[in-house]
Amino acid sequence: MKHFEFSVPPLPHYILSGEDTYIPNQAHPNRRNIDVFDLIVVTKGELFIGEEEGLEWELGPDHMLILRPDKYHYALKPCVTETHFYWVHFQTKGTWQELDDHEGDTLSPFNFPIPPFHQSDLFRISLPRTSTLTNKVDFFEKLQKLILLSKQPSLTARWQEQTLFQELLVQLHGEQKPRVHSSVIQVAEKAAHYLQQNFQKSITNEKLSEELNFHPVYITRCMKQVYGCTPQEYVKKYRIEQAKIYLLNSDISIGEISERVGFSTIQFFTRSFSQQMHITPLKFRQQYR
């Protein structure tokens, strides 16, 4: 199984929605590179859709599918029986990628391009490529409300469309089975919280193990599953994020910033910063100040 993963913010945004009923021998149109994600949800009958690279789907009642914005998709064959479905077009101005489910275990915001200004709230949301809806009644009601809102010309309706669409995304996100066990997530989040609260101090794996009461090897495994990096890699990246705040918002010297954010030497700080940001701390300050 596959899923889409989006960096947030910005959130994927709603563009347009509707519903169609196909009679037997009618087929979904063939389209190429339409530049929007196409969410399709069948309520009755069957829809037969393919996408380049040999992907094929037979969508029955309560099945959903998201087609890529940058691929050719086409009808595998016409509908056999009367088929009703909803469609929603959406897009994002942020980064996104399509992954196999086993690739979706890293939730770290650091894996996406980091803007020059600090964004500690950068995170990921994932949406299933295809799924069978578990709470279909509520989902269909939201889709019907979206269609009704599109017929209202008010600015308030446009705002409500986006809000309702975000509720749909939350519900779709919840349709997926967790790819990481909750106990692993809890350990990783506790470790991340401790590292953020103590990033200015010298933190060893042994100290982290003592604080969390777990073996350091297990903590590292949990951190890599959830955040895609070891505890030491995580705290180094977090320190650099804190250093960026000082560089952009103060006149404190590079050496003092290095000390304040927990680096042992200015040389190690400069080397680490340059590796992550592809620019030295001094040039970063000169460029964005």
Reported as a single tens digit per residue, the pLDDT across 155-181 is 999 999 999 999 999 999 888 766 667
Q: What angle do CA 16, 19, 25 make, to 5 degrees?
A: 130
Whole-model pTM: value is 0.69
| Non-local CB neighbours of 265 within 8 Å, separated by 6+ positions | 258
Q: Which whole number is the average pLDDT over 128-144?
A: 94
- 3-state secondary structure (DSSP) of residue 114: coil
Residue 169 to residue 143: CA distance in whole angstroms = 12
Query: Does the pLDDT at position 100 exceed 70?
Result: yes
The rounded distance, in Å, linking the Cα atoms of 264 and 241 is: 16
- Intervals of CATH 1.10.10.60 along the chain: 182-288
Residue 230 in this model has a pLDDT that exceeds 90: yes
Averaged pLDDT for residues 236-259: 93
pLDDT at 109: 44
* Average predicted confidence (pLDDT) for the chain: 89
Task: Specify the range with the lowest mean pLDDT, choosing from 31-35, 53-57, 107-111, 200-204.
Answer: 107-111
How sure is the predictor about 103, in pLDDT bands with cuts at 50, 70 and 90? low
**What tokens does 182 get?**
């909750």
| 63 membership: H or E segment, kind and range | strand 63-67
Banded model confidence at residue 14, pLDDT cuts 50, 70, 90: very high
Handedness of CA 107, 108, 111, 113 (dihedral sign): positive
Q: How confident is the model at residue 48 (pLDDT cuts 50, 70, 90)?
A: very high
Residue 129 confidence (pLDDT) above 50: yes
Class of domain 182-288: mainly alpha
Residue 215 in this model has a pLDDT that exceeds 50: yes
φ, ψ (nearest 5 deg) of residue 8: -135, 140
Q: Give the whole-angstrom CA distance, residue 255 versus residue 279.
A: 16
Residue type, 230: T
First to last CA, the chain: 45
Q: Specify which residues 50 forms β-bridges with.
A: 56, 74
Q: How many residues does the chain have?
A: 289
CATH 2.60.120.280, the chain: domain bounds: 2-174
Predicted confidence (pLDDT) at residue 115 exceeds the cutoff of 70: no
According to DSSP, the β-strands at 130-132 and 63-67 are antiparallel
Contact at 8 Å (CB) between 150 and 22? Answer: no
CATH class of 2-174: mainly beta
Cα–Cα distance between 176 and 65 in angstroms, integer?
Answer: 13
Q: How far apart are CA 277 and CA 273, in angstroms?
A: 6
* Rounded (5°) CA angle 145-146-148: 65
